[in-house]
Structure 1
């Protein structure tokens, strides 16, 4: 595992899950984007990436952005790092260890309806083409 040593936080996790401070987010649950269970839990060092996470998450619950702290080792997310964005400008990470919720971001600005539709259409196209794979 390659450790993201230069990442210091704060860290965020965007979702539609209704959780509380102190709860642990753990691998082994369905992805925000697919019904498939993943062996990693994903998070970001940028609020914008967390906003995308909750806005694009499947489900009907309210969009939530949690402030988290990793409880163990983590690495750059290979789904984005050097695959779509050289380096790690989105500060996207993943861990096999739980993430502890330490707070919640309650005020943030959503992406425009046009930008959100554009991204959802893009993801739908990838899915229809069979290209929605997540490197797990």
Structure 2
């Protein structure tokens, strides 16, 4: 299993030691309440998640540590893509905030709009989220 470090992207303003838990609505299909908390070993991937996260807050990337077992995120791994090229994971257990990451690369407005368009198409097509 990947040893990290691990990252989580969000628009929430969090503090060192805070625990993130499952049970919130998906950023990609808001009608779905997620059974897991998601994270990645790639700061850029967490940055993308932060940019696309629901809410009006400033996108933020945090270094996190899992507090329990975790597995490959089936939404972007073998069930949809070979292997785990995004180094994306999920856990039913909380993840702890270690620190806020400064200076992560932001998407250009054009790239961000392209991602939002992709997500809108996924919503319209009712793309499956493996929860």
TM superposition score normalised by structure 2? 0.93
2:114 alignment partner in structure 1: 118
Q: Give CA-to-partner distance per residue, 1:76-130, whole Å, 9 cap, x none.
A: 0000002443110100000000001010112111112211111111111111122
The answer as to 2:11 corresponding to 1:16 is: yes
CA–CA distance in structure 2, aligned partners of residues 135 and 26 of structure 1: 17
1:80 alignment partner in structure 2: 76
Contact 2:35 2:92 (C-alpha < 8 Å) held by counterparts: yes
Matched residue of 1:89: which SS? coil
How far does residue 21 in structure 1 lie from its aligned partner after superposition?
A: 0.4
Specify every segment of 5 or more residues in structure 2 that has no aligned partner in the other structure, as ranges. Answer: none
Aligned residues: 130
1:50 alignment partner in structure 2: 46
The answer as to 2:47 corresponding to 1:68 is: no
How far does residue 40 in structure 1 lie from its aligned partner after superposition?
A: 0.4
TM superposition score normalised by structure 1? 0.90
